Copies of this chain bind each other. A is one copy, B any other.
Amino acid sequence: MTTAKNKYAIGLHIWVNEDSGHFLGKGRIQLLENIKSTGSITKGAGLMKMSYRQAWQMVQDMNSRADQPLVEKILGGKGGGGAIVTDAGNKAIRLFYGLEEKLSKYATQLSEKIKL
């Protein structure tokens, strides 16, 4: 149910650009979360039907745009190593959802005043 007051709602998509290009969007955040949950770039990419190559390029691009790497490879060991999301990577995930939440809240406030 919706009252007349809330007839309209504002939807939004956000992303974060760095100086020279795209830095973080929903897909990249999803990739970080998948790497975090699987401990592997290959497996993390697989969860979203992305190739390892694509995912690794995305990771390298993100790493190069942040002051510190968001994902690090762990070399060696059984199974040929994996990958971890760093503290900076976790911060990036929280940052993105935080921005989304703040902007959505403001959008909700604005939408309550819409009358057409």
Within 80-107 of A, Cβ neighbours of B (below 8 Å) are at: 88, 91-92, 95, 99, 102-103, 106-107
A116 touches which one: B9, B67, B107, B116 (CB < 8 A)?
B67
Q: Which residues of B contact A2 (CB under 8 A)?
A: 19
A92 touches which one: B16, B99, B116 (CB < 8 A)?
B116
> What residues make up the interface of A, taking CB atoms closer than 8 Å to B?
2, 7-19, 23, 66-68, 70, 88, 91-92, 95, 99, 102-103, 106-107, 110-111, 114-116
Q: Tell me if B103 and A66 are in contact (CB < 8 A).
A: no
A8 touches which one: B13, B16, B91, B107 (CB < 8 A)?
B16
> How far is A107 from B16 in the complex, measured between Cα atoms in Å?
10
